[in-house]
Amino acid sequence: MAGAKGSSAATLYLVAYNAASFAGWAYVLAQTAAHLAEHGGSLDGLFGRIGLPLIWVQTGAALEVVHALTGLVRSGAFTVLMQVYSRLLLVWGALYLFDYPEVRASYALVLMVVAWSVTECVRYSHYALTLLDINLSALVYLRYTLFYVLYPAGVSGELLELWAVLPHAAEIHPLLKPFLLANMAGYPPVLYSLYTHMIRQRRKILGGAGTAKEGAATKSKKKL
């Protein structure tokens, strides 16, 4: 999500949206960490603790497609759609539909949720602060660096979750399993597209020399 187009009302809306999204993801991350601290290796009850907040905060990200399509932000609508679609498939097409331990109480779920939560806490806080003309160089650096680890981690968790769903997919519809397999086959090119996009953005925002810190604050308002 890039900056708002002009009006103060749009800016206030986007600040509120990003702040609310940050709060939602921070809650999911905190509850996941608390469950792991309290129960150690047992993941029983984790989904009951984070399931609904996770589903709804991720569903709220669908608004970002609307933001891009209407020109409220300068992000590319197709790039946003690729990011949002796969996650909606996971939360509604896997976690919501299939109440099995290998889906809702797995380390794949933990890997996916932690990767998503950390990514989004950094992303939404960066956007909200940028809209308020508050620029933290450390946050900008994290925004355009953590993806090196978090993108592959999140995708690995997503694919493992979909794999766990496959044996049960026919319970919903006979075509659901081939549909999920087709989506899984599409992951490598989509990951490559998103990954290289972020690498290009990192080069533009952070640069490569000592001027990176000086330019990061200004450039971060103009790029995803």
Q: Please give the positions annotated as active site.
A: 151, 158
CA separation for the pair 218, 33 (Å, rounded)? 34
Residue type present at position 174? P
3-state secondary structure 46-69: HHHHHHHHHHHHHHHHHHHHHHHH
Q: How long a stretch of residues is the chain?
A: 224
Q: How far is CA 54 from CA 28, 39, 87, 144, 151, in A?
A: 6, 20, 11, 24, 18
Angle at 177 between CA 173 and CA 183, to 5 degrees: 125
